[in-house]
Structure 1
């Protein structure tokens, strides 16, 4: 689309230059004088109405500004933010040609209620993961490691709220897509009840902050509420088939 706009602006600019030259050189007046000097010549054609240079330049200006806005959008990134489940999302494979940044880190957590010597936490790395990335959209999936570490949904909700508050305050134009924590299976299935509890809280938080809520959990759960066997090899992390399904959800939201 941008290339097409560039072509249109070049054509329009050429028309403007030619029109300006004709308007300032007196070409039409010279032709009229020559016609008078030749009595056998046919009468001069009726002069065309003057070209509205102001309107043409206005059109050129608005076309250029529109192109600038489109280019600015292309300079922004979609950020995938989370833990090892996000880190395993192969961006070149699933989002070829798209400006997508993977900001997942294995074993990461929400980031509140941590000892000072623990460097982890999405809450602690929002500068590097969101604010410094020229992000237009953030797909956030975090929380399963908090549950695995024994944190309660109450504590997790407090930390998640802090994440959303910071983004809303420091980057109000960023569109956050709050993603449900995924189901688990096998030895990790003990967390599924708390996963459902926390996801209900996430849905309310998303509504409160006027962000999207993406129920990826529903896409990957079986009839028992566990992660489908075909979507995992260890009961927690995802297979290529699961990532393909997830990629489709991101693409749907982004209208790719």
Structure 2
């Protein structure tokens, strides 16, 4: 490349460097010393370009673009749950209701009702037909612990629910989730929520997943040593839980 061509290319690069910060700065008025300082620094940098070769300039431009891409990636995380799960439906009780209450996912992605167990859940299955989701995440059991005498009845009702979901949305992937833990004070006050019973009913969910050839996700590990995520009743969860829950689901889906 001759000197004339190099000079022309350098001029083009200089123009680009000038335009990039200017495009952003023109979006808002230059109304503070910080913005004036940025412009001044840009001009100082341009004055020093005469002693810099083209390869060095190009390298700096590439680094600038890389940093901008990384920043864009960070911003996308703020909306990633709504986007990631926009073709999914979450079925459950009041715990799942929190996804809608705290605006974690789109309202259309939540089919949940306070106090609902597996028997009542069958009434909600018909709603899936209109949504036609790609994935259905199921989280029932806390109310069934109080209403079911044993895990056999729980298992039987769960199988019926899964069969209904399959029939309604045959192309959807179904994910059964473990029961969520409760705090020690709840177990002490109510035998229905004893650890043995929680483990027994969760094992029943695992067996249903195997029998019906659907997916199972254990969400209990993410709650270990996280007493701070529980509401005062020791069963339900604060807002912070829901983002962590969905992030955990995304991680497990990629495994």
Q: Which bracket does the TM-score occupy, shorter chain normalised?
A: 0.5 to 0.7
Paired residue for 2:20? none
Pairwise CA distance, 1:93:
4.0
Change (3 A) 1:163 1:207: same
2:217 aligned to which of 195, 214, 238:
214
> Contact between 1:178 and 1:211, CA under 8 Å: does it hold in 2?
yes
Instruction: Say which SS state the counterpart of residue 117 (structure 2) adopts.
Output: coil
Pairwise CA distance, 1:173:
0.9
Q: How many angstroms apart in 2 are the aligned matches of 1:199 and 1:177?
A: 14
> Contact between 1:232 and 1:238, CA under 8 Å: does it hold in 2?
yes
Q: How many angstroms apart in 1 are the aligned matches of 2:228 and 2:165?
A: 35
Considering fraction of residues, name the structure with more helix.
2
Cα deviations by residue, 1:209-247 (Å, 9 ceiling, x for unpaired)? 22111101222134xxxxx42121221001122212101
Paired residue for 1:83? 93
Paired residue for 1:175? 173
User: Which one has a bigger Cα radius of gyration?
Assistant: 1
Equivalenced residues, count = 164
Q: How many angstroms apart in 1 are the aligned matches of 2:175 and 2:149?
A: 23
Paired residue for 1:23? none
Paired residue for 1:160? 158
Q: How many angstroms apart in 2 are the aligned matches of 1:154 and 1:219?
A: 27
> Contact between 1:80 and 1:100, CA under 8 Å: does it hold in 2?
no
Pairwise CA distance, 1:188:
2.5
Q: How many angstroms apart in 2 are the aligned matches of 1:92 and 1:221?
A: 22
Instruction: Say which SS state the counterpart of residue 184 (structure 1) adopts.
Output: coil
Q: Which runs of 5+ in 1 are unaligned?
A: 1-73, 112-120, 223-227
TM-score by length of 2: 0.58
Q: Which runs of 5+ in 2 are unaligned?
A: 1-83
Question: Once superposed, what is the RMSD of the aligned Cα atoms?
Answer: 2.4
Instruction: Say which SS state the counterpart of residue 213 (structure 1) adopts.
Output: strand
Cα deviations by residue, 1:56-79 (Å, 9 ceiling, x for unpaired)? xxxxxxxxxxxxxxxxxx9x7310
Paired residue for 2:250? 251
Question: Is 1:230 the equivalent of 2:228?
Answer: yes
Paired residue for 1:198? 201
Q: How many angstroms apart in 2 are the aligned matches of 1:150 and 1:214?
A: 22
Question: Is 1:148 the equivalent of 2:146?
Answer: yes
Q: How many angstroms apart in 2 are the aligned matches of 1:242 and 1:99?
A: 18
